[in-house]
Amino acid sequence: MPTTVAVEAIPTLDLCSLPPDERPKRVLEAFDRLTPGERLVLAGADWGGELLRQLQSERRGLFEWSVLSSRPGERRVELARRADSAPAMRTVDEALSWDHDRLDALEREAFGRRAAGDFESAAEIFSGFAAGLRRHIRFEEEILFPAFETRAGIPPTAGPTAVMRVEHREIEELIGLIEAGMADPGSKVEALRLRLHDVLGDHNLKEEQVLYPTTDELLGEKEADALVARIQRFDG
Protein backbone atom coordinates (compact mmCIF):
# COMPACT_ATOMS: atom_id res chain seq x y z
CA MET A 1 0.00 0.00 0.00
CA PRO A 2 1.16 3.61 -0.51
CA THR A 3 2.65 5.31 2.49
CA THR A 4 1.53 8.81 3.45
CA VAL A 5 3.04 8.92 6.93
CA ALA A 6 6.76 9.13 7.73
CA VAL A 7 8.22 8.24 11.10
CA GLU A 8 10.06 11.22 12.53
CA ALA A 9 10.48 13.25 15.68
CA ILE A 10 7.15 14.88 16.48
CA PRO A 11 6.75 17.90 18.79
CA THR A 12 4.79 17.29 21.99
CA LEU A 13 2.36 19.54 23.85
CA ASP A 14 2.18 18.53 27.52
CA LEU A 15 -1.40 19.24 28.57
CA CYS A 16 -0.64 18.43 32.19
CA SER A 17 1.56 21.53 32.34
CA LEU A 18 -1.39 23.76 31.41
CA PRO A 19 -4.40 24.86 33.48
CA PRO A 20 -7.43 22.81 32.36
CA ASP A 21 -9.35 25.85 31.10
CA GLU A 22 -6.44 26.84 28.81
CA ARG A 23 -5.96 23.44 27.17
CA PRO A 24 -8.56 23.67 24.38
CA LYS A 25 -7.37 27.13 23.31
CA ARG A 26 -3.70 26.11 23.34
CA VAL A 27 -4.41 22.94 21.34
CA LEU A 28 -6.38 24.87 18.72
CA GLU A 29 -3.59 27.44 18.47
CA ALA A 30 -0.95 24.73 18.11
CA PHE A 31 -3.06 22.89 15.54
CA ASP A 32 -3.56 26.05 13.49
CA ARG A 33 0.22 26.46 13.26
CA LEU A 34 0.59 23.03 11.66
CA THR A 35 0.93 22.79 7.91
CA PRO A 36 -0.79 19.95 6.01
CA GLY A 37 0.89 16.66 6.90
CA GLU A 38 2.49 17.97 10.09
CA ARG A 39 1.72 16.29 13.40
CA LEU A 40 1.62 17.12 17.09
CA VAL A 41 1.56 14.77 20.08
CA LEU A 42 -0.81 15.70 22.91
CA ALA A 43 0.37 14.27 26.22
CA GLY A 44 -1.68 14.35 29.39
CA ALA A 45 -4.72 13.06 31.20
CA ASP A 46 -7.38 15.28 29.62
CA TRP A 47 -6.69 14.95 25.92
CA GLY A 48 -10.08 13.43 25.08
CA GLY A 49 -13.70 14.26 25.80
CA GLU A 50 -14.51 17.94 25.39
CA LEU A 51 -11.23 18.69 23.63
CA LEU A 52 -11.91 16.19 20.84
CA ARG A 53 -15.52 17.35 20.53
CA GLN A 54 -14.29 20.93 20.13
CA LEU A 55 -11.87 19.90 17.40
CA GLN A 56 -14.60 17.94 15.63
CA SER A 57 -16.84 21.00 15.79
CA GLU A 58 -14.41 23.85 15.04
CA ARG A 59 -11.84 22.06 12.83
CA ARG A 60 -14.18 19.57 11.23
CA GLY A 61 -12.57 17.38 8.61
CA LEU A 62 -9.16 19.00 9.02
CA PHE A 63 -7.46 16.53 11.36
CA GLU A 64 -6.56 12.94 12.10
CA TRP A 65 -6.72 11.74 15.71
CA SER A 66 -4.59 8.70 16.55
CA VAL A 67 -4.41 7.38 20.10
CA LEU A 68 -0.83 6.37 20.85
CA SER A 69 -1.31 5.30 24.46
CA SER A 70 -4.39 5.16 26.68
CA ARG A 71 -2.64 3.87 29.79
CA PRO A 72 -3.25 5.98 32.91
CA GLY A 73 -0.45 8.48 33.34
CA GLU A 74 0.81 7.84 29.79
CA ARG A 75 -2.12 9.00 27.69
CA ARG A 76 -0.91 10.38 24.35
CA VAL A 77 -2.61 11.28 21.10
CA GLU A 78 -1.13 12.19 17.73
CA LEU A 79 -2.95 15.08 16.07
CA ALA A 80 -2.24 15.41 12.33
CA ARG A 81 -3.37 18.15 9.99
CA ARG A 82 -5.05 17.18 6.74
CA ALA A 83 -5.00 19.38 3.66
CA ASP A 84 -7.13 22.50 4.04
CA SER A 85 -8.90 21.46 0.84
CA ALA A 86 -9.85 18.03 2.25
CA PRO A 87 -13.62 17.49 2.42
CA ALA A 88 -15.16 18.06 5.84
CA MET A 89 -17.34 14.97 5.49
CA ARG A 90 -15.18 11.92 6.14
CA THR A 91 -15.60 8.49 4.60
CA VAL A 92 -14.79 5.21 6.31
CA ASP A 93 -12.60 4.17 3.39
CA GLU A 94 -10.45 7.31 3.45
CA ALA A 95 -10.10 7.53 7.24
CA LEU A 96 -9.34 3.88 7.96
CA SER A 97 -7.11 3.40 4.92
CA TRP A 98 -5.10 6.38 6.20
CA ASP A 99 -4.68 4.58 9.52
CA HIS A 100 -3.48 1.47 7.68
CA ASP A 101 -0.79 3.58 6.01
CA ARG A 102 0.22 5.16 9.33
CA LEU A 103 0.62 1.77 10.94
CA ASP A 104 2.48 0.31 7.96
CA ALA A 105 5.02 3.15 8.22
CA LEU A 106 5.63 2.39 11.90
CA GLU A 107 6.13 -1.31 11.21
CA ARG A 108 8.64 -0.63 8.45
CA GLU A 109 10.52 1.86 10.60
CA ALA A 110 10.72 -0.62 13.47
CA PHE A 111 12.29 -3.33 11.30
CA GLY A 112 14.55 -0.79 9.64
CA ARG A 113 15.92 0.14 13.07
CA ARG A 114 16.33 -3.53 13.93
CA ALA A 115 18.23 -4.19 10.70
CA ALA A 116 20.53 -1.30 11.62
CA GLY A 117 21.24 -2.89 15.01
CA ASP A 118 19.19 -0.41 17.08
CA PHE A 119 17.18 -3.06 18.91
CA GLU A 120 15.93 -0.84 21.72
CA SER A 121 14.49 1.73 19.35
CA ALA A 122 13.08 -1.01 17.13
CA ALA A 123 11.23 -2.53 20.06
CA GLU A 124 9.83 0.86 21.14
CA ILE A 125 8.56 1.72 17.66
CA PHE A 126 7.09 -1.74 17.11
CA SER A 127 5.25 -1.48 20.43
CA GLY A 128 3.65 1.72 19.12
CA PHE A 129 2.66 -0.10 15.94
CA ALA A 130 1.25 -3.02 17.93
CA ALA A 131 -0.77 -0.74 20.23
CA GLY A 132 -2.17 1.15 17.26
CA LEU A 133 -3.08 -2.01 15.37
CA ARG A 134 -4.77 -3.52 18.43
CA ARG A 135 -6.85 -0.36 18.82
CA HIS A 136 -7.67 -0.41 15.10
CA ILE A 137 -8.90 -3.99 15.45
CA ARG A 138 -11.01 -3.11 18.50
CA PHE A 139 -12.79 -0.16 16.92
CA GLU A 140 -13.46 -2.18 13.80
CA GLU A 141 -15.04 -4.99 15.79
CA GLU A 142 -16.94 -2.74 18.20
CA ILE A 143 -18.04 0.07 15.85
CA LEU A 144 -17.44 -0.63 12.15
CA PHE A 145 -18.40 -4.29 11.85
CA PRO A 146 -21.75 -3.93 13.70
CA ALA A 147 -22.67 -0.95 11.50
CA PHE A 148 -21.87 -2.93 8.35
CA GLU A 149 -23.66 -6.06 9.56
CA THR A 150 -26.81 -4.15 10.53
CA ARG A 151 -27.12 -2.39 7.18
CA ALA A 152 -26.12 -5.42 5.12
CA GLY A 153 -28.39 -7.76 7.07
CA ILE A 154 -25.52 -10.14 7.74
CA PRO A 155 -25.03 -11.79 11.17
CA PRO A 156 -21.63 -11.53 12.91
CA THR A 157 -21.12 -15.25 12.43
CA ALA A 158 -21.37 -15.12 8.64
CA GLY A 159 -20.06 -13.12 5.73
CA PRO A 160 -16.85 -11.09 5.40
CA THR A 161 -16.75 -9.77 8.95
CA ALA A 162 -16.80 -13.30 10.38
CA VAL A 163 -13.69 -14.12 8.34
CA MET A 164 -12.06 -10.84 9.34
CA ARG A 165 -12.59 -11.53 13.04
CA VAL A 166 -10.74 -14.84 12.65
CA GLU A 167 -7.93 -13.03 10.84
CA HIS A 168 -7.82 -10.42 13.62
CA ARG A 169 -7.09 -13.14 16.17
CA GLU A 170 -4.21 -14.45 14.05
CA ILE A 171 -2.85 -10.91 13.57
CA GLU A 172 -3.00 -10.25 17.31
CA GLU A 173 -1.13 -13.48 18.04
CA LEU A 174 1.62 -12.65 15.56
CA ILE A 175 2.17 -9.07 16.71
CA GLY A 176 2.35 -10.31 20.29
CA LEU A 177 5.06 -12.82 19.38
CA ILE A 178 7.01 -10.22 17.39
CA GLU A 179 6.68 -7.60 20.11
CA ALA A 180 8.12 -10.04 22.66
CA GLY A 181 11.22 -10.65 20.51
CA MET A 182 11.99 -7.28 18.90
CA ALA A 183 14.63 -6.27 21.43
CA ASP A 184 16.39 -9.68 21.23
CA PRO A 185 19.05 -9.86 18.47
CA GLY A 186 18.75 -13.65 18.42
CA SER A 187 14.99 -13.88 18.03
CA LYS A 188 13.32 -15.11 14.84
CA VAL A 189 11.01 -12.13 14.42
CA GLU A 190 11.87 -11.71 10.73
CA ALA A 191 10.20 -15.03 9.95
CA LEU A 192 7.19 -14.03 12.01
CA ARG A 193 7.10 -10.75 10.13
CA LEU A 194 6.72 -12.60 6.83
CA ARG A 195 3.75 -14.49 8.25
CA LEU A 196 2.25 -11.24 9.52
CA HIS A 197 2.63 -9.63 6.09
CA ASP A 198 0.89 -12.59 4.45
CA VAL A 199 -2.12 -12.29 6.74
CA LEU A 200 -2.24 -8.53 7.22
CA GLY A 201 -1.59 -7.66 3.57
CA ASP A 202 -4.53 -9.69 2.29
CA HIS A 203 -6.69 -8.59 5.21
CA ASN A 204 -6.12 -4.88 4.64
CA LEU A 205 -6.67 -5.28 0.90
CA LYS A 206 -10.10 -6.86 1.50
CA GLU A 207 -11.02 -4.07 3.88
CA GLU A 208 -9.90 -1.27 1.55
CA GLN A 209 -11.36 -2.78 -1.62
CA VAL A 210 -14.58 -4.26 -0.23
CA LEU A 211 -15.56 -3.62 3.40
CA TYR A 212 -14.78 0.09 3.74
CA PRO A 213 -16.29 1.32 0.45
CA THR A 214 -19.30 -0.96 0.87
CA THR A 215 -19.92 0.44 4.36
CA ASP A 216 -19.75 3.97 2.96
CA GLU A 217 -22.34 3.06 0.33
CA LEU A 218 -24.64 1.39 2.86
CA LEU A 219 -24.48 4.26 5.34
CA GLY A 220 -24.48 7.27 3.07
CA GLU A 221 -22.41 10.43 3.46
CA LYS A 222 -23.75 11.78 6.76
CA GLU A 223 -23.82 8.49 8.64
CA ALA A 224 -20.38 7.49 7.39
CA ASP A 225 -19.01 10.84 8.62
CA ALA A 226 -20.67 10.29 12.01
CA LEU A 227 -19.16 6.80 12.19
CA VAL A 228 -15.66 8.19 11.61
CA ALA A 229 -16.27 10.70 14.43
CA ARG A 230 -17.25 7.82 16.73
CA ILE A 231 -14.10 5.95 15.79
CA GLN A 232 -12.01 9.02 16.62
CA ARG A 233 -13.64 9.10 20.08
CA PHE A 234 -13.06 5.38 20.66
CA ASP A 235 -11.00 4.83 23.81
CA GLY A 236 -11.12 1.08 24.07
Three-class DSSP labels, 144-186: HHHHHHHHHCCCCCCHHHHHHHHHHHHHHHHHHHHHHHCCCCC
pLDDT of residue 89: 95
- In three-state secondary structure terms, 219 is helix
Residue 133 near residue 34, CB atoms below 8 Å: no
Strand partners, 39: 80
Q: Is the pLDDT of residue 236 over 90?
A: no
Mean pLDDT along residues 59-83: 89
Q: How far is it, in rounded angstroms, from Cα 234 to Cα 99?
A: 14
Q: Is the pLDDT of residue 36 over 90?
A: yes
Delimit the domains of the chain by residue range: 12-81, 92-233
What interhelical angle do 50-58 and 23-33 show, nearest 10? Answer: 40
Percentage of the chain lying above the pLDDT 90 cut: 80
pLDDT of residue 4: 36
pLDDT of residue 101: 97
Q: How far is it, in rounded angstroms, from Cα 157 to Cα 163?
A: 9
What is the pTM (predicted TM-score) of this model?
0.91
**Topology (CATH) of 12-81:** Translation Initiation Factor IF3 (3.30.110)
Minimal CA–CA distance to 140: which of 105, 158, 167, 106? 167
Give the pLDDT band (50/70/90) at residue 21.
confident
Q: For the chain, what is the mean pLDDT?
A: 92
Q: Which tens digits make up the pLDDT trace of 154-173?
A: 999 989 999 999 999 999 99
Q: From residue 174, how far is each of 104, 115, 182 by CA, in Å?
A: 15, 19, 12
